[in-house]
Amino acid sequence: MKFKSIKGTKDVLPDESHRWQFVEQTIRSVMHAFNYREIRTPVFEETAIFARSIGESTDIVGKEMYTFQDRSGTSLTLKPEMTASVIRAYIQHNLGEQQQLVKLYYLAPMFRQERPQAGRLRQFHQFGAEAIGSQLPVVDAENIALAAEIYRTFGMKNFSIRVNSVGCEICRPAYKQKLKNFLQKIFDKLSEESKRRFEQNPLRILDSKDENDRSLTASAPLMKDHLCAECEMHFEELKSVLTSLKIIFEVDGRIVRGLDYYTKTAYEIVSTDLGSQDALAGGGRYDVLVKELGGKNAPAVGFAAGIERLMMTMEKQHLFPDSSARPVFFIAAADDAGRRWAIQQAIEFRRHGISCDVDLLCRSLKAQMREAGRQAARYVIIAGEDELKQDQVKVKNMSSGEQTEARVSQLLAEAKRLHASP
Ligand code: HAM
C-alpha cells in the first residue's frame, strides 16, 4: 500500500523550500521594520473560540473547520485563522497591561476543509498582523500600509487594495433591515446560496460570485452610505491618511468579508494574476472581539494573507531570485587519506558558516566531480595523501574551470575569501 498526502495539502520539497525561506525572511524583515513582534500560538484551540469569534453562520464555522474530540471529550479545532487564537493569547497573558498598543505578527499553517482548487488548499499558510488597543484610523492605515509594503518589497505588480466600512453595532442593524427589504423583492431570482444567506447573513449576498446575483444587487443599498456619524468619521479619516501615505486604494462598497467579527474598516487586496481565488489578503477592524472573548475593551485591526497565493503570483511575475540553496564548496577526496581529511575539513568550514558538502558514499574521484556538478557547487577542493603531505590542495572554480592551489594551513582563510566573493 502506498500512502499519499491528504487532498488539499502540499509537500514543500527541497527544490522549492528555499523560495519559502526567501518569502518568510522578507516578510519577517518588513514586519520588524514596522515594529510588529511575532506571536506563535498552538495549532489547535478549543472549538468555541472560533465559533464565537468567526460566527456560527459563516462558511468557515458552518462547514470548513477541522473539528474533533480528543480522548477526554474536549472539542478541538485546527486553526482556520489566527485572529481568534491571537486574541485568546492576548487576553490570557494580559498583553495589553504592559503597553497600550500591542502589535503582533505571525506566519503559520491554517486549516479549512474547502474544495481544493488552484490557490485554495486545506492546509495553507498565512502571514498576518494584528494591532490591538486603539480605535484610531491611523492604526488601520498603518496596518494596510504594512500589507502593501510587503507586496511592494517583493516587487509585486497587478494588485489593488479595496477598502470599505462595514459599520458597527449601532448603524448596522438598521442598514441590514434596509438591505433585506431590497433583497426581499428579488429573492426568488437569487442563487440558492444567496437565498440561504438571506436570513442569517444578508450582507454576504453582496459579495456573491454569482454573476446573476451581482447584476440583481447592482443597485442594492451599501453599508458605506448608511454609516453612523462615528463610523463615517473613521472611514473618512482612514481614506485621508491612506492618501497622505500615497497608498493607492479603491473604495468597494461590496466588501463584507467572510468572518463576522468586523466593525468599521474591512479591506481586501486582490490580484488579477490569481484567477477565481483572487484575494491575496483580507483584513479589517474588530472593535468588540476582545470583549466578546472575555477581555477588557480593546479595539483592534489586522489582516492575514495567503502565502501560497503570494507565491503563485510571484511565480507568474518572475519575482523569485535565481539563487537556490547550493553549497559553495564540495571537498572531493582522491583516496582514503583524502576522505578522512575531507570530512574533518568540511566540519571546520561549516563551523565558520561556510556551506560545503563532502562525499559520504566512498565514490570515485570522477563520480565525486559529477556529484559536485549536480549540486552546482561553486568550487571543488581536491585532496589526496600526496597533496596533504605537500600541504598543497587543488581548488577548482566550477564555472570557469580554472584550477589553483592552496596551502592546507591557509585553506580556511582562502575559503572565507572565496565564500565572500560574488
Ligand atoms: P481570510 O480572508 O479568511 O481572513 O483569509 C486571509 C487570506 O488567507 C485570504 O485572502 C487568502 O489569501 C488566504 N486563504 C484563505 N483561505 C485559503 C485557502 N483555503 N487556501 C489558500 N489560501 C487561503 C482571515 O483569515 C482573517 N483572520 C484576517 C484578519 C486578520 N482579519 C483581521 N485580522
* pLDDT tens-digit series, residues 52-85: 999 998 999 999 999 999 999 999 999 999 999 9
* 130, pLDDT greater than 80: yes
* Any domain includes 202: no
| Confidence at residue 232, expressed as pLDDT on a 0 to 100 scale | 98
Question: Looking at 282, 316, 350, which one is the last position of a domain?
Answer: 316
Average pLDDT, the chain: 96
Same domain, 262 and 136: yes
The answer to whether residues 43 and 128 belong to one domain is yes
All three cell numbers of 368, joined, read: 565525486
Residue 114 falls inside a structural domain? yes
Looking at residue 276, its pLDDT comes to 85
State the distance from the centre of ligand 1 to the C-alpha of 303, rounded, in angstroms: 8
Residue ranges making up the domain that contains 350:
329-420
Answer yes or no: is 187 within a domain: no
Cα(128) to centroid(ligand 1), Å? 9
Judge contact between 305 and 128, C-beta under 8 A: yes
Q: Is the pLDDT of residue 323 over 70?
A: no
The residue whose grid cell reads 482612514 is 238
Residue 275 has pLDDT above 90, yes or no: no
Residue 322 confidence (pLDDT):
76
The amino acid that residue 173 corresponds to is P
Would 377 be classed as within a structural domain? yes
Residues 365 and 389 placed together within one structural domain of the fold: yes
Does ligand 1 lie within 6 Å of residue 148's CB atom? no
Sign of CA dihedral 105, 106, 107, 111: negative
Compute the average pLDDT of residues 117-135.
Answer: 97
Of the pLDDT bands very low, low, confident and very high (cuts 50, 70, 90), residue 420 is confident
My answer on whether 308 and 333 are in the same domain is no
Is the CB of 234 within 6 Å of ligand 1?
no
- Shared-domain flag, residues 371 and 309: no
The residue whose CA has the least distance to atom 15 of ligand 1 is 306
Nearest-Å Rg of the Cα atoms of the chain is: 28
Ligand 1 centroid to 4 CA: how many Å? 26
Does residue 304 lie within any of the structural domains?
yes
Residue 91 forms part of a structural domain: yes
Same domain, 259 and 368: no
Asked if residue 143 belongs to a domain, the reply is yes
Within a domain: 362: yes
Evaluate the CA torsion angle 289, 292, 293, 298 in order and state its sign.
positive
Q: 190-227, pLDDT tens digit by residue?
A: 999 999 999 888 999 998 989 999 999 999 999 999 99
Last residue of a domain, one of 270, 295, 316: 316
Domain CATH code at residue 107: 3.30.930.10
User: Looking at 270, 289, 316, which one is the last position of a domain?
Assistant: 316
Same domain (yes/no): 275, 401: no
270 and 368 share one domain = no
Report whether residue 128 contacts ligand 1, using a CB cutoff of 6 Å. yes
Quick: pLDDT tens for 382-403. 999 999 999 999 999 999 999 9
Same domain? For 291 and 375 the reply is no
Residues 167 and 132 in one domain: yes
Max CA separation in the chain (angstroms): 94
**pLDDT for 224-261, tens place per residue?**
999 999 999 999 999 999 999 999 999 999 999 999 99
Q: Is the shortest distance between the CB of 280 and ligand 1 below 6 Å?
A: yes
Whether residues 312 and 367 fall in one domain: no
> How far does the chain reach from its first CA to its final CA, in angstroms?
48
Provide the domain count of the chain.
2
Beta strands across the sheet bearing 300-306: 37-38, 102-111, 123-132, 300-306, 279-285, 265-271, 159-165, 249-251
Same domain? For 54 and 136 the reply is yes
**362 in the Ramachandran plot: left (φ > 0), alpha (ψ -120 to 50) or beta?**
left
> Has residue 133 got a pLDDT over 80?
yes
- The CATH number covering residue 356 comes to 3.40.50.800
